[in-house]
Amino acid sequence: MMQPKRTKYRKPHRTRYDGKAKGNKYVAFGEMGLMATTGNWVNANQIEAARVVLSKFKDKYKTGKMWIRIFPHLSRTKKPLEVRMGSGKGSPEVWSAVVKKGTIMFEMAGIPEAEMRKALKQAGDKVNVLTKIVLKGEIAHE
């Protein structure tokens, strides 16, 4: 599972996921990409599940490649159940990536277009944001 090697602060403030993405809005490396049409925090588990799906499709062909364009930098905290209010912030539970509307999350290249669409569709089902498939050259205008 993905997580940073080290961070400056153990318990950061929550970063907002509403609004449009500033960067990472176009397919840079592959032929086709998976773009978020809504914003949310995407957990490291969800990124890993999508990576497994894409790897299975990629490994069928010798020339297939994939890129993961998001990384879970943000540690999300949670307080234990049945704990009274106060006494500070909870302990870090999960690592998340902040995904805004228009962010390209995954890219693929080197396999047939139909298989690529199928793989990206299945990967999109694994993450908790609404997604759409974009081709190289398209930029998020939403």
Q: What is the pLDDT of residues 92-103, one digit of tens each?
A: 999 999 999 999
* First-residue to last-residue Cα distance in the chain: 31
State how far the Cα of 99 lies from the Cα of 16, in Å rounded to an integer.
9
Who wins on pLDDT, 138 or 88? Answer: 88
Q: Which domains does the chain have, with CATH numbers?
A: 41-76+91-135 (3.90.1170.10)
What confidence category does residue 35 fall into, taking pLDDT thresholds of 50, 70 and 90?
very high
In order of 31, 106, 108, 141, the CA distances from 138 in angstroms are: 11, 14, 15, 9
Beta bridge pairs of residue 65: 109
Per-residue model confidence (pLDDT) at position 62: 84
Q: What is the mean pLDDT of residues 89-114?
A: 95
Of the candidates 71, 59, 116, the one whose C-alpha atom is nearest the C-alpha of residue 133 is 116
- Reported as a pLDDT band with limits 50, 70 and 90, residue 140 is low
User: What is the rounded distance in angstroms from the CA atom of residue 4 to the CA atom of residue 47?
Assistant: 14
Say whether pLDDT at 138 is over 60. yes
> 131 near 38, Cβ under 8 Å?
no
